[in-house]
Amino acid sequence: NAGVMQNPRHLVRRRGQEARLRCSPMKGHSHVYWYRQLPEEGLKFMVYLQKENIIDESGMPKERFSAEFPKEGPSILRIQQVVRGDSAAYFCASSPSASTGRPYEQYFGPGTRLTVT
């Protein structure tokens, strides 16, 4: 059973470009979470999605950031017009639904390290 997959593992963007980060949850998991880790800091929650629905986006910056989890395909975290302060590691986690497992267990992907030059 493959774990949570994230790609790319490393992404370099110039200021003003767009960054797209992809996350494929574990098989059978329908809940996806995105976290951001700044250097020397812990992980900060950004957004929680289920298929085709954003459940909680209280941690998302108000501008330039968006996330989706379509019916088919991976979850996408999109950052428009990137700035140097967006440089960080972005982690995706997934969990099963309450009907299929233990929704409080989150399994993390290896992360995407975004560098903005």
Site for other proteins, rule CB under 8 A: 4, 6, 31, 33, 35, 40-45, 48, 55-56, 58-59, 91, 93, 95, 98, 103-111, 113
Alpha-carbon distance of 15 to 82, in angstroms, equals 5
Shortest Cβ 15–other proteins spacing (Å): 24
What whole-number distance in Å separates Cα of residue 69 and Cα of residue 78?
11
Are the beta carbons of 110 and 21 closer than 8 angstroms? no
3-class state of residue 81 by DSSP: coil
Least Å distance between CB 76 and other proteins? 18
CB of 41 to other proteins, least distance (A): 6
Six token digits for residue 42? 């812990």
Nearer to other proteins (CB atom), residue 42 or residue 72: 42
Structure tokens at 116: 């903005």
Minimum CB–partner distance for residue 96 and other proteins (Å): 9
Nearer to other proteins, 18 or 52 (CB): 52
Nearer to other proteins, 72 or 99 (CB): 99
Rank residues 82 and 96 by Cβ distance to other proteins and give the closer one.
96
Which residue from 26, 24, 32 is spatially nearest to 51, judged by alpha carbons? Answer: 32
Collapse the DSSP code of 83 into the 3-class scheme (helix H, G, I; strand E, B; otherwise coil) and give the result.
coil
